[in-house]
């Protein structure tokens, strides 16, 4: 349940368009709803500005649908992360307006009749990635920030193996309010960007790389040891966490 839904509900009550009995029925599962296998936190959107996100691995299609329907009926958009396309196809019809983004391995379901998120800020979130193999994590970050109401641009395949490519996007680097930098291998891209801009840089190490990359550990340690002041780091392959962090910062910036 987000603020807009609650305000609308209260306005309807004040106008006499909604009875107290009906309002109680709509609010009966606030702040949480017990589905037996899960307790859906409907209060999270009011506290955090975002609804619960469904992490798909380990859940059955039935469980995913039940949680998604619970979140959606309270007026909130739904993100289903780390979802494979085969599983999505088994329950797509049950969610109706669900859209699957294969590059990001996530699905979204919009609350109400909307077909896109409600914009909440004009501050641009720029998502950069070093190589094409990093795109799945970068797209997870980009779509998460977009679902949280931020304008998002992308600057992909600009890693340090061809550093000149990064400067083709200098206008985007200048326009962004927050930058997410995604890289595997040696994880150098966030340090380069962090040395060029005067804005928050959120670094995301990926598990892309050969043996000594240690499934992203090398990139993680490199980013934690960045010589560019102020670069912050999320966990390996955590595009979702980076997207949330970037959107949270962007929504606090006065544009």
CATH for 196: 3.40.50.1970
Do both 244 and 149 map to the same domain?
yes
What are the pLDDT digits (tens) for 87-104? Answer: 898 888 888 778 899 999
Write down the pLDDT at residue 3: 58
Q: What is the pTM of this model?
A: 0.84
Do both 105 and 27 map to the same domain?
yes
Asked if residue 127 has pLDDT above 70, the reply is yes
Position 119 in a domain: no
Position 130 in a domain: yes
Number of domains into which the chain is organized: 2
* The pair of three-digit structure tokens given for residue 23, joined into one six-digit string: 């309002």
* Range(s) of the domain holding residue 233: 125-252
What are the pLDDT digits (tens) for 113-125? Answer: 667 888 889 999 9
Do both 88 and 163 map to the same domain?
no
Position 50 in a domain: yes
The secondary structure of 168-222 as a DSSP string is GGHHHHHH-SEEEEEE-TT--HHHHHHTT-SS-EEEEE-S-SSGGGGGGHHHHHH
Write down the pLDDT at residue 38: 78
Do both 237 and 142 map to the same domain?
yes
Write down the pLDDT at residue 17: 75
Position 115 in a domain: no
Asked if residue 2 has pLDDT above 60, the reply is no
Among 80, 109, 138, the domain boundary falls at: 109
Q: How far is CA 93 from the centre of its chain?
A: 24
């Amino acid at each position: 349940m987000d603020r807009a839904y609650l305000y609308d509900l209260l306005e309807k009550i004040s106008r006499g368009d909604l009875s107290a009995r009906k309002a109680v029925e709509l609010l009966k599962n606030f702040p949480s709803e017990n589905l037996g296998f899960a307790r859906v936190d409907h209060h999270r959107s009011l506290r955090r500005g975002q609804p619960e996100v469904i992490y798909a691995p380990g859940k059955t299609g039935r469980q995913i649908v039940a949680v998604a329907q619970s979140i959606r009926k309270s007026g909130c958009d739904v993100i289903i992360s780390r979802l494979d396309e085969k599983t999505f196809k088994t329950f797509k019809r049950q969610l109706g307006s669900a859209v699957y983004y294969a590059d990001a391995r996530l699905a979204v379901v919009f609350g109400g009749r909307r077909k896109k998120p409600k914009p909440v800020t004009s501050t641009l979130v720029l998502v950069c990635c070093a190589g094409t193999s990093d795109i799945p994590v970068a797209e997870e970050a980009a779509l998460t920030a977009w679902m949280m109401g931020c304008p998002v641009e992308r600057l992909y395949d600009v890693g340090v193996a061809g550093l000149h490519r990064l400067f083709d996007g200098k206008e985007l680097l200048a326009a962004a309010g927050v930058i997410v930098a995604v890289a595997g291998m040696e994880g150098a891209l966030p340090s380069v960007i962090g040395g060029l801009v005067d804005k928050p840089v959120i670094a995301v190490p990926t598990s892309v790389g050969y043996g000594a990359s240690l499934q992203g550990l090398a990139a993680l340690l490199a980013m934690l040891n960045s010589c560019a002041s102020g670069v912050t780091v999320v966990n390996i392959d955590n595009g979702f966490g980076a997207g949330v962090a970037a959107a949270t910062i962007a929504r606090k910036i006065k544009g």
